[in-house]
Amino acid sequence: MNSKQIFTAKAEKGLLTFSNKRELMDWLLENDNKPLLVSIERTTGVRSFAQNSALHLFFEQLAETLNSAGYTVQQILSKKMDMDWNGSSVKEMLWRPAQIAITKKTSTADLAKVGEIDDIYDHLCRHLGEKFGIETPPFPNDPTKIR
């Protein structure tokens, strides 16, 4: 094994949790008494898996809300043929245009953990409320719970 090794860890409450503990232990045993350099790179700014799940659950919930209120894609976006909403159409036709206008980012994967999703959500809810009287679902705080 190479003496220069990179290990991935997550910092929580002042402790490092390594993703591949066996490989780390092997390296430490093989390199006993050698200096160890630790470099910390932060990945803040990228949304978590839970936030991604919540975002996509919101897309589905908003689609259900729009459909239940009787609004088709065409009525909201002034298109010609009536279609029902689904999570993908909410994401691509409502969320993404708002996201690009507000953040200049094209991918939801690039949204900051704090602030950007809330800002887009607030703008979208305000727009649907003012223009169509739609009361949007609250943003999911636990994406594992289906309503």
- Given this model, what pLDDT does residue 10 score? 73
What's the CA gap between 77 and 75, in Å, rounded? 6
**Angle formed at CA 61 by CA 56 and CA 66, multiple of 5 degrees:** 125
3-state SS, residue 15 = strand
Q: Work out the pLDDT band at 40, boundaries 50, 70, 90.
A: low
Any long-range contacts for 116-123 (C-beta under 8 Å, 24+ apart)? 117/47, 117/51, 117/55, 120/95, 121/58, 123/98
Residues 11-27: what's their mean pLDDT?
Answer: 76
- Across the chain, mean pLDDT equals 83
Residues 105-126: what's their mean pLDDT?
Answer: 89
Q: Work out the pLDDT band at 1, boundaries 50, 70, 90.
A: very low
- Given this model, what pLDDT does residue 42 score? 60
pLDDT tens digits, residue range 47-87? Answer: 777 888 888 999 999 999 999 999 988 888 877 778 889 99
